[in-house]
Structure 1
Amino acid sequence: MKKINLLVILTAIVFIGCKEKVVTEEQSMTVIEKAAAQYEHLYHNAISYMDSDRPMPRTIVNGKLHTVGVYDWTSGFHPGSMWNLYGLTNDITWKNRAVAYTQIMDTIQYYEGTHDLGFMIGDSYGNALKYMDKEAYEKVMVQAAKSLVSRFKPKAGVIQSWNSNDRWQCPVIIDNMMNLEMLFEATKISGDSTFYNVAIMHADTTMAKHFREDYSSYHVLDYDTETGKVLKRNTAQGYKDESAWARGQAWGLYGYIVMYRETKDEKYLDQSKNIASFIMNHSNLPEDKIPYWDYDAPVTKDTPRDASAAAITASALFELSTYVEDDLEHAYVDRANTILESLSKEPYLAEIGTNEGFILKHSTGHKPQNSEIDVPLNYADYYFLEALLRQRDMIK
């Protein structure tokens, strides 16, 4: 009887020891290692779609990986994340995979049917150019910039976002600030200042007309293309027209930081600092600094968060910290670090081998349409990885 009890005890000790060893190994991994392990899982999960008309993983729908075509606005984030992983790990495997996924975006450079070319081409080919000196990629960037500029309405001073419809004549969304970086890059490559000037005009018009006194922004403005008059101020993805949709505030912050980086015009730096202040000091911001999907949405235990808005904000704040005086620099870095710390653990960071391979959980895509609620999103992962890159580069 004693021998049996001893055997049971020894077996239990071995089992517990093995279990503790497994947990310890995963816990001891860095966030970058965990992210790479997750994307290894995502890569193998999605590779069977690569030769289809829906090669790019975007999210999870009904518990399964959901992929989209290259004309989807999120298509550039998957190759972009692989470029970010290459930057973080220096593992040539990620570079090779990034090249393969980037090159299937080739036809998008000619597409004039969207304003999202900065996301689609900038995050794929634009990131490729950070690691490769390739003239063919430069040509893609310039052509994509030409396609984007085709949507510019000179009398209104804006790049039209969505196409005209029954509701809006010329809708412009705050997200459009994110597409201007590609225009600056195209000017550097080509020497053609047209792209630069369009970016300036769009940013100035948006700054003058899209923002409220507290430096929160509307989501959608409708312009008269002949007079430049604002016809409507609405939302599409926020709680209501007058609310501050969380991801929209992050887009605006990031966009004006880019504007300052590329022009060194102090008005863009001031705008960035004011938007950052709105975000950082909002009374509805949770303790872990991961915002609810809209800063003005009623808060209950079921109100969804938006990890994507948090990741974008963290990445933006790291860059903004490099342009300001000491007190603000420390405040921005501290907040960005806090956001990354929250995203780097439960409940936001997925366990390895789960979440279909996506890194982050708990993002919100389009709450009013009940679309992509409390799910992973490829752009949340992209900006999380970019924020990790910027955090690492600041420590060096």
Structure 2
Amino acid sequence: MTRNNSRTLLAGIALLAAVPTLAPEFAQAAAESNAALVKRGIDAAAKQYATLLPKVQNKEGFPRTVENGDVKQVGVKDWTSGFFPGSLWYLFEATGDKQWRAAAQDYTARMAPAKFDKSQHDLGFMLGASYGNGYRLTKDPSYRDALLAGATTLVTRYNPKVGSIQSWDLWKNSNWAFPVIIDNMMNLELLTWSAREAKEPYYREVAVTHADTTLKNHFRPDGSSVHLVDYDPQTGSIRGKVTVQGNADTSSWARGQAWGLYGYTMMYRETKKPEFLEQAHRIAAFFMNHPRLPADKVPYWDFDDATIPNAPRDSSAAAITASALLELAGFSDKATAQKYRDFAIAQLRSLASPAYLAAPGENGGFLLKHATGHKPAGKEIDVPLNYADYYFLEALLRLKASATH
């Protein structure tokens, strides 16, 4: 059940019934094989990025979204900077086309300053998507060096008294002392990978301890997550639990649930610690069984927005969830694995439908429509986002890979 006592399960079911459907498109998609779905998604991505790349490659920065009809570029310090080069690497992996490799190498090289950026926790996103995929696909030793340098930078934000990596530096108007957000789970793979590569167990210890602390303090009994927990850096005690990007401190911000699901699935893969797998299953159950999840399985930006069914969707949360569930299926018993795969494939079919997948040349050249970045701040509402595209492509490649095993 949800955390909003004013809404019942029956009310949630009624809201599901009120969600508009796209029967012809979904009927057509249901008849499409998984292989055809993957091919169509990759083909669409290649066409779109062939439109987007010429718009941006001779300019500084990284394409993040569309604003006032124009592609918005961000600098290397932006937490989303690595996703565009990451998507280019995925296109190279999917197609073998050398133009995507060349473009990915170009944009990965632009990420170089990030490996020494001690001002933020997002180095796992930034370097993992760019240098990480680049190293996986090319084994370029300079990419390995960049990742190890980034891990060395990231661990400087770890506080052993708290048992966590600090997320944001302290904002001028905040009263936080040591903020940790659920998104931070996504940065831990950089540390576990680096621990193996550099034979440095401290990196792994930091990652596992951070995941343990987050498991203890971020989650509610129903499996949903708080966005931000603020700690006392001297004692490790909790000072408060709040949201920044969600609807309310007690609400369930959809992308936060997706980060948690992906993060604990990944940490189980990296550590085989059973508590992490159990948590991934709990988060999956919360997301998949939520009475206010729309019929097409693309969530509203927050499960507890009072304006549902008129609230904005978040295609990025659906893409992240689909990718995570496809991996989690590999760690599950047969029946559960099939349930996760079916749900993820249903999400991908929705995202690949005309309701969400942009027509060629539209959407600024990005793939997915209807993502939500930071609704409380009035930013990036119902727009394309580079990380929605990245995890959509990742999920398609994971679906393709799962069919070969």
Superposition TM-score, scaled by structure 2 size: 0.89
CA contact (8 A) 1:45 1:356 kept: no
Q: CA deviation at 1:29?
A: 7.4
Aligned equivalent of 2:237: 229
Q: CA deviation at 1:28?
A: 12
Aligned equivalent of 1:136: 142
What is the aligned counterpart of 2:343 among 331, 335, 342?
Answer: 335
Structure 1 CA distance, aligned partners of 2:268 and 2:309? 39
What is the aligned counterpart of 1:283 among 257, 275, 291?
Answer: 291
Q: CA deviation at 1:362?
A: 0.2
CA contact (8 A) 1:215 1:274 kept: yes
Q: CA deviation at 1:89?
A: 1.1
Q: Does 1:212 align with 2:184?
A: no
Aligned equivalent of 2:94: 88
Give the partner amino acid of 1:366: H
**227-236 vs 87-96, which deviates more?**
87-96
Aligned equivalent of 1:162: 168
Structure 1 CA distance, aligned partners of 2:377 and 2:262? 25
Aligned equivalent of 2:19: none
Structure 2 CA distance, aligned partners of 1:136 and 1:130? 12
Q: CA deviation at 1:380?
A: 0.1
What is the aligned counterpart of 2:58 among 48, 52, 59?
Answer: 48
Q: CA deviation at 1:299?
A: 3.5
What is the aligned counterpart of 1:242 among 246, 250, 258?
Answer: 250
SS at the partner of 2:369? coil
Q: CA deviation at 1:192?
A: 0.7
Q: Deviations over 1:113-139 (max 9, x none)?
A: 000000111110011111111221111
Q: CA deviation at 1:160?
A: 0.2
Q: CA deviation at 1:302?
A: 3.2
Q: Does 1:261 align with 2:269?
A: yes
Give the partner amino acid of 1:308: S
Q: Does 1:30 align with 2:36?
A: no
Give the partner amino acid of 2:91: L
CA contact (8 A) 1:116 1:179 kept: yes
Aligned equivalent of 1:380: 388
CA contact (8 A) 1:153 1:159 kept: yes
SS at the partner of 1:346? coil
Quick check: which has more Rg, 1 or 2? 1
CA contact (8 A) 1:145 1:183 kept: yes
Structure 2 CA distance, aligned partners of 1:282 and 1:111? 38
Q: CA deviation at 1:48?
A: 2.7
Give the partner amino acid of 2:303: Y
Q: Does 1:182 align with 2:194?
A: no
Gaps of 5+ in 2: 1-36
Aligned equivalent of 1:22: none
Q: Deviations over 1:336-372 (max 9, x none)?
A: 0000000001210000011110000000000001100
What is the aligned counterpart of 1:305 among 302, 313, 320?
Answer: 313
Superposition TM-score, scaled by structure 1 size: 0.91
Kindly indicate whether structure 1 or structure 2 has the higher relative contact order, using CA contacts under 8 Å at least 6 residues apart.
2
Structure 1 CA distance, aligned partners of 2:133 and 2:175? 36
Q: Deviations over 1:151-188 (max 9, x none)?
A: 00110000000112432100000000000001011112
Q: CA deviation at 1:301?
A: 4.9
**294-303 vs 184-193, which deviates more?**
294-303
Q: CA deviation at 1:300?
A: 3.9
CA contact (8 A) 1:157 1:228 kept: yes
Give the partner amino acid of 2:160: P
Aligned equivalent of 2:9: none
CA RMSD of aligned residues (A): 1.3
Q: Does 1:61 align with 2:71?
A: no
Q: Deviations over 1:54-79 (max 9, x none)?
A: x2000011111101011110000000
Q: Does 1:97 align with 2:103?
A: yes
CA contact (8 A) 2:323 2:398 kept: yes
Q: CA deviation at 1:395?
A: 1.0
Show structure 1 runs of 4+ deviating over 3 A.
Answer: 299-302
Aligned equivalent of 1:126: 132
What is the aligned counterpart of 2:354 among 346, 350, 361?
Answer: 346
What is the aligned counterpart of 2:76 among 70, 76, 83?
Answer: 70
Structure 1 CA distance, aligned partners of 2:298 and 2:222? 20
Structure 1 CA distance, aligned partners of 2:176 and 2:117? 22
Q: Does 1:108 align with 2:118?
A: no
**Cα distance, 1:130–1:155 mapped onto 2, change above 3 Å:** same
CA contact (8 A) 2:38 2:400 kept: no
Give the partner amino acid of 1:175: D
Aligned equivalent of 1:12: none
Q: Does 1:148 align with 2:158?
A: no
